[in-house]
Structure 1
Amino acid sequence: MRKIAWMGFLGVAGLLGAALAAGAAEWPEKPVNLVVGFAAGGETDIVVRALNDKISANLGGQTVVLNKPGSGGLLAAQTIANSPPDGYNLLVLSLSHVLRQAADEKTPFNVLTDFEPISRIVTQPIVLAVKGDSRFRTIDELIAHARANPNTLNFGSPGVGSLGHFSGELFKSAARIQFKHVPFQGSAPGVTALLGGHIDFLVTALPAITGKVASGDLRVLASYADRRLPEMAAVPTFAEKGYPAVVMSGWFAFVAPAKTPPAVIQKMDRAVAKTLGDPAVVEALGKLGFNAAHLGPADLKAFIESELKRASEIAKKENIVIQ
């Protein structure tokens, strides 16, 4: 009897496994939502829409950009974390979600356990900028002034716990200088404050200030990239100025709810990888200020783990806390 029961169990398990595999092979049988946690017209939305048609074609099924703004991207992340693991609702995860978890113990999701990594899609440069007529012509001058006059400079960021905030604190710690943080509700108010002379410098993603830099209203003194940016070859990196730890970039990635079938994950990743391998797509992303930067599921998982570890260390050391 035990042998018969065991064989019956194996038979049921085999049928279930075959059914799941078949379902994954047929996926997608309906539109796949690419959920963006911000309003239409924002940088995340613009990037995903620039990729959407190509991804649909390479996937062999329709993908739809679905905006679900709220709480700085938290609403979308929480929604996807609680969605069925069927591959029809995918989240555009960003470094902002990771930073939030590092700075807020009440974050309603866990980037390591609530999602299945699929593909990293882009990275974006982070820079330190001053007003066009600022007295600081180089990053060395700014650092020298800050050392001689502790806590007299004010730096702006898109908000407490933002990428700009973390990046600014990382610079401050590495250079062993002191300055004050002024958080804003997004990059645009920070740019306005910098142009008005209300802050001394701004740390933000390059796409947020590209137009003002081109017009000469703002100047970039240094970038957080690991090498000089092609579009700003004259601008040094913090690393080459003697601060090798001051390297950071924003990024976006597709993730699915935890326990989504591996076959679905792999099929979506193949479509994304093919899309990002298209020279026309790479060029289009470059014009938007982003770099095509594909990572597959396994590499993305390790990458997110390392990003959270680093962010948590920075948050603890610099007392970055979101209440």
Structure 2
Amino acid sequence: MRTFLDFEAPIAELEGKIAELKAVAADGDAVEIEEEVDELERKAARSLEQIYANLAPWQKALVARHPERPHFLDYAGTLFEDFTPLAGDRKFAEDRAILGGPARFRGEPVLVIGQEKGHDTQSRLDHNFGMARPEGYRKAVRLMELADRFSLPVVSFVDTAGAYPGIGAEERGQAEAIARSIDCCLGLGVPLVSVVIGEGGSGGAIALAAANEVFMLEHAIYSVISPEGASSILWRDSARAKDAATAMKVTAQDLKRLGVIDRIVSEPVGGAHREPATAIEAAGEAIDDALGRLKLMTPEEVRRARREKFLAIGRSL
């Protein structure tokens, strides 16, 4: 059964009526009922299109966090062949909030890495809701250095509310681990393409997204802190998250205009959770286009282009 967000109430009501009529039609003469169903389906489609064409920043945040939205393993399983996850940071432990390893993308060898939130209670606990500990970022560094050594382009998928804020993580050097991951991204001599597929929060996101090209799905969000966290700090009131989301410019459209990201990947009407395969394929096309251009560059050109990209953000803002 589909999960509806609060602002999707009109669509939920229409789809509920459609389901009821289809159940009635299955029991008897369905000619007149089918006509009514067709009209309701057209009305629901129009309503869905209108709502999603005018989403407020806070509504986009809710869509980005939708529990049925495709996550990293969905992208990895669809877009990549021979994906072989590698475990451990070789220092402390394995962290399943970040997964990565060598794979093939449309026949070409790459290294793919991403944050996985999980789809149900058990998998969310297993992946710590996509919030990595220091060992997760140290594993990311290990894998990216491996990719650099073997000249493998890196593709990263960002989907996290932020790095794990627990005491143990801080004791093991969370900030240092994130900083080293960002430094590793910036120093790679191979192309790095990042896609924000859901929620890109705080340093936990930029640790995998200091890339040559950064893409965002149409209804994803990307920010230095969550709207709830920002409202708690600014106004001492987490209930003002809607105001914070608007002020922080967290949407793909805002960030493209500001030059923080390079491309917006279109989602199906109603969000990626309604047609995951379509959203995943669109992301794949964007990745293919970027890698096709970046692979023509030398390692020094790749590093220089990445450096200039981030310096240009500071100059333009």
Would the TM-score normalized by the shorter structure come out above 0.5? no
Structure with bigger strand share is 1
Which structure has more RCO (C-alpha within 8 Å, separation ≥ 6)?
1
TM-score (norm 1): 0.31
